[in-house]
Amino acid sequence: MIERAQALITDLYELTMAAAYFDSGLHHDDAVFELFVRRLPNHRSYLIAAGLEEALDYLSSLRFTPDQIDYLREHPVFKNVSGEFFDYLAGFKFTGDVWAMPEGTVAFGMEPLIRVTAPIIEAQIIETFLLSTINFQTMIASKAGRVVTAAEGRGIIEFGTRRAHGTEAGLFAARAAYIGGCIGTSNVEAGHVFGIPTFGTLAHSFVMSFEDEDEAFRAFLKVFPATATVLVDTYDTIDAVTRLVREFGPGIPAVRLDSGDLCDLSKRVRLLLDNAGMTQTKIFASGDLNEYKIAELISGGAKIDSFGVGTELATSSDAPSLSGVYKLSGLEKNGVLSGRIKLSHAKATYPGAKQVWRFRDQAGKYARDLIALADEEIPAANSNDLISPLLTRVMQQGRVVDADQHSADDGANTPDRHTRDSRFSCLNRARDRAAAELTRLSKTILAIDSEDEYPVSFSKRLSSERARLEQKISERRH
Amino acid sequence: MIERAQALITDLYELTMAAAYFDSGLHHDDAVFELFVRRLPNHRSYLIAAGLEEALDYLSSLRFTPDQIDYLREHPVFKNVSGEFFDYLAGFKFTGDVWAMPEGTVAFGMEPLIRVTAPIIEAQIIETFLLSTINFQTMIASKAGRVVTAAEGRGIIEFGTRRAHGTEAGLFAARAAYIGGCIGTSNVEAGHVFGIPTFGTLAHSFVMSFEDEDEAFRAFLKVFPATATVLVDTYDTIDAVTRLVREFGPGIPAVRLDSGDLCDLSKRVRLLLDNAGMTQTKIFASGDLNEYKIAELISGGAKIDSFGVGTELATSSDAPSLSGVYKLSGLEKNGVLSGRIKLSHAKATYPGAKQVWRFRDQAGKYARDLIALADEEIPAANSNDLISPLLTRVMQQGRVVDADQHSADDGANTPDRHTRDSRFSCLNRARDRAAAELTRLSKTILAIDSEDEYPVSFSKRLSSERARLEQKISERRH
């Protein structure tokens, strides 16, 4: 795995608040925080949850190193803070419980993707990292779901590291895109670390570095006879394919179109290939693609077998941030959880620890979701099998629980979560889950130009709890 | 520094091309690649170059580990590749020369930000990492320049890690935003690693975790009496400030507005503070801000001393990718450099190793840029001091040259580039450079709604070289 000193990847206020909690003696009180997206971004009708594995890795390994603590001690803001706080940080471990939607779960606005119950000081310190990781990967997996849906079964390869927000973003974009249904990535590290299938073609620079195009093709096909995807648009696409057919014949695994009118070119190239009996040679297309362009190519009858999608996928460029928030919803005092809400304009929250229930119709399609208190009994849940809870326990007292097998990871009889193989199995479960869940969405929600909103409601108990607290806050203030 | 095995952070095709170059015996030939942005994104009238330090760190430390090479050997695509190629990778070092615009340089479309001259196999392998790093940091620094310009001297603090594209993106966004003129960041790791000043306030969750707001204020101010920025909008901003003034008085360093009508609230809060003699208490504002909203607040007379800008800055959300490309522009055969160009639609390139010259007018303002061949004599360059070249040598035969002092880093008498202090000096030089350069742009280019285009032209020799090559390629094809 990527080794990093992650404890300081946090906003300064998490640590100043921690110091103030510590000073107030509040740091032992258990708090409930929930991570959710209030409203889906423009052009999004669903989310695909992703990033949980990295979040759990972080939570289970989070420590402050002596060097980091020295840095904080010398920070001007901490000059009045007692040494005891830094001793506390030196022994810091995350000891809380975490419930979460497994990666690959389809989710909607207001639904907690993650619920953390932990001493408030711990729950606060982890906020920035959790948000950054979950917001990013969920955003990319959700975008990938759209692109994959538009391709109607044709393969999508994630290609965007060069335009991603730095190299780590490229790596995790590849991971999240795979969860969202891509068949692979061009990012080699994503193959090395996560086991994701990696694909490549060749660049214009390669073609240009030879005296002529044919010489470049020969040099590349000699080394990669069984896997080469030959780039044919450096000078003139149709010319290049005509010569490829004549000189190399059926041995060519695939050709790549990267510019021009991809729909028209793909048809002409397919015809050239088929007329030469090269029906096995695939056509791969790329060039600033997104879900809309892919849908248009397919509806135009383009003869394209698979697509490379870079910038727009790896940056989710039409909705380049996901505004997930992490909100305090309850605080335990003397063993009693009391709900907490925020009243600020348009940023209201609901109190208490929550569960999300999903209702399916008789055909198995998702009909609606209900957000309820975690300890609420949902009457229908016992009487039929068309309702299921979405949040499962993934961490107990700071230790990862294998959400897929519901067995505690006691470090002895469970496989190492950090081998390439185990990461890849985990990823494939998430990818399969996403694929299965997407088939249960109605066509109108799944459509890339959907304007429908999937029905999500709050339980009566949640709504009345919220009203009660509003009343209480308002009374206290007047 | 963040330790990562970076060699595989690359697109697979860089490595398949490398294998084919190796097999063809072409890998010793020196190639020239240039990294540039063809056209500035929407809403951008200039770029601020950033990311070079990370690129140089990568180039000087790039190695393939045995584990990485094992992974490649087992990759299905490499099954026909000779063992000699992997032996080559095992001994791989980057040995090339690099010329670049120093970080903080203002740049425009088509201008090489980086020029690499190296054996083609080396120059190819580094493509993905260079693009990812330079594209991202340049994009963020450029966005920061706009936000800082809009604030007309008021401080901007970068706040966006939670919405950045993962945690590393958050860290480097903080770095690039500082180059672009921000006064600091909320990201603690950015302070720890780069020495960037870090700032924080407190969150709604902190206020909500106490029985009432005043108790929360007391708890926080007790620990941070000299630095606290008190968040006042959890329940009712004016109420909260009224009580703060009454109960805590002039000791309050600053208050933070995070919702509502910031312009109106800031005026009312300023009045409350001033009437209580609290003229020293600052007002900090945040809440989905960007350069346009800040400009509007200022023109509306808002009484805000500094701004926190998160999502829109850390993701450059109105232009969330920078489409920098890395193009082969020349290849040396038997000691002679021959230019290379690409003809594809709308993606034309110019041949040869280039330099960018910047012309200033008598007032010192930037008037125009000229892209010329690196060995071209620019007649005016000798006759006055109003012309300067923008690309300087930053790496020679794989070793970093200190661009700011123009002395070779021989590892003995230069300071360690990897301490916090040296990184911070480097960053401050870049930040000062950006600030100075922005003052030399005309008001119409600098305006956040600029529709002007800064004049950039190609030298006659470049244009005729390009025409000659076009002719040659076209003759060869007919």
pLDDT for B463: 92
**CB nearest A15 (choices: B124, B188, B346):** B188
8 Å CB contact of B77 and A200: yes
Counting every residue written for chain A, the total comes to 478
**Neighbouring C-alpha atoms within 13 Å toward the C-beta of A131:** 31
Q: Does A208 touch chain B (CB under 8 A)?
A: yes
The confidence score (pLDDT) of residue A478 equals 61
Interface check for B171 against chain A (CB to CB < 8 A): the answer is yes
The ipTM (two decimal places) reads: 0.95
The three-class DSSP label of residue A282 is strand
Q: What local confidence, expressed as pLDDT, does residue B407 receive? A: 41
- Tens of pLDDT along chain B (478 residues) come to 344 568 999 999 999 999 999 999 987 889 999 999 999 999 999 999 999 999 999 999 999 999 999 999 999 999 989 999 999 999 999 999 999 999 999 999 999 999 999 999 999 999 999 999 999 999 999 999 999 999 999 999 999 999 999 999 999 999 999 999 999 999 999 999 999 999 998 899 999 899 889 999 999 999 999 999 999 998 899 999 999 999 998 889 999 999 999 999 999 999 999 999 999 999 999 999 999 999 999 999 999 999 999 999 999 999 999 999 999 999 987 778 788 877 655 667 889 999 999 999 999 999 999 999 999 988 776 666 789 999 999 999 999 997 554 344 444 445 677 899 999 999 999 999 999 999 999 999 999 999 999 999 999 999 999 989 888 877 876 6
User: How remote is the C-alpha of B312 from its chain's centroid?
Assistant: 15
**Per-window interface: A 248-267 vs B, CB < 8 A:** 258-260
Which residues from A are below 8 Å from B12, CB to CB? 186-188, 191, 198-200
- Is A260 in Cβ contact with B9 (below 8 Å)? no
Q: Does B135 touch chain A (CB under 8 A)?
A: yes
Distance between CA atoms of residues A195 and A192, nearest Å: 6
Nearest CA in chain B to A192: B71
Q: Tell me the domains of chain B and their CATH numbers.
A: 12-140+319-477 (3.20.140.10), 200-284 (3.20.20.70)
Pairing assessment for the beta strands A392-396 and A387-389 based on DSSP bridges: unpaired
Q: Which residue has the higher pLDDT, A79 or B298?
A: B298
Closest chain B residue to A135 measured between Cα atoms?
Answer: B163
Query: Which 300-339 residues of chain A touch chain B by CB within 8 A?
Result: 311, 315-317, 320-324, 326-328, 331
- Asked if B227 and A76 come within 8 Å (Cβ–Cβ), the reply is yes
**Interface membership of A419 toward B (CB under 8 Å):** no
B23 closest CB neighbour out of A169, A222, A235: A222
Residue with the larger pLDDT of the pair A169 and B27: A169
Q: Is B349 on the interface with A (CB under 8 A)?
A: no
Q: In this predicted structure, what is the pLDDT of residue A339?
A: 81
Cβ-defined contact of A331 to B209 (cutoff 8 Å): yes
SS3 for chain B, per residue? CCCCCCCCCCEHHHHHHHHHHHHHCHHHCEEEEEEEECCCCCCCCCEECCCHHHHHHHHHHCCCCHHHHHHHHHCHHHCCCCHHHHHHHHCCCCCCEEEECCCCCEECCCCCCEEEEEEHHHHHHCHHHHHHHHHHHHHHHHHHHHHHHHCCCCEEEECCHHHCCCHHHHHHHHHHHHHCCCCEECEHHHHHHHCCCECCCCCHHHHHCCCCHHHHHHHHHHHCCCCCEEECCCCCHHHHHHHHHHHCHHHCCEEEECCCCHHHHHHHHHHHHHHCCCCCCEEEECCCCCHHHHHHHHHCCCCCCEEEECHHHHCCCCCCCCCEEEEEEEEEECCEEEECCCCCCCCCCCCCCEEEEEEECCCCCEEEEEEEECCCCCHHHHHCCCEEECCEEEEECCEEEECCCCEECCCCCCCCCCCHHHHHHHHHHHHHHHHHHHHCCCHHHHCCCCCCCCCEEECHHHHHHHHHHHHHHHHHHC
User: Tell me, what amino acid is at B210?
Assistant: F
How far does B104 lie from chain A, in Å, by closest CA?
Answer: 18
| Residue B33 in contact with partner chain A when CB distance is under 8 A | yes
Answer whether A198 sits within 8 Å of B342, measured CB to CB.
no
Q: What is the DSSP letter of A317?
A: T
**Is the pLDDT at A143 greater than 60, yes or no?**
yes
- On the question of pLDDT at A411 being above 70, the answer is no
On whether the pTM is more than 0.80, the answer is: yes
Query: Can you say whether residue A344 is alpha, beta or left, with left for phi > 0 and alpha for psi between -120 and 50 degrees?
Result: beta
Looking at CA atoms only, how far is residue A454 from chain B in angstroms? 24
* DSSP SS3 for A326: strand
For chain A, count helices (H), then strands (E): 18, 20
**Confidence (pLDDT) at B187:** 98
- How close A442 gets to chain B, by Cα (Å)? 30
Contacts of B225 in chain A (CB under 8 A): 80
Q: State residue A237's pLDDT score.
A: 95
- Quick check: A16 and B204 CB within 8 A? no
CB B425 within 8 Å of CB B417: no
pLDDT at residue B410, rounded to an integer: 44
Retrieve residue A340's tokens: 């907490």
Task: Specify the 3-state DSSP secondary structure of A371.
Answer: strand
- What average pLDDT is seen over chain A? 92
d(CA A97, CA A116): 6
Lowest mean pLDDT among A110-119, A290-299, A408-417, B330-339: A408-417
Say if the Cβ atoms of A163 and B323 lie within 8 Å.
Answer: yes
Res. A3: pLDDT tops 50: no
Tokens at B459, concatenated: 């030298």
Question: Is the pLDDT assigned to residue A265 strictly greater than 50?
Answer: yes
Q: How many residues does chain B have?
A: 478
Contact A209 B29 (CB under 8 A): yes
pLDDT at residue A345 in the model: 56
Considering only CB atoms, which chain B residues are within 8 Å of A235? Answer: 343, 473, 477
* Residue A408: band (very low, low, confident or very high) from pLDDT cuts 50, 70, 90: very low
- Name the residue among A206, A18, A385, A138 with its Cα closest to residue B23: A206
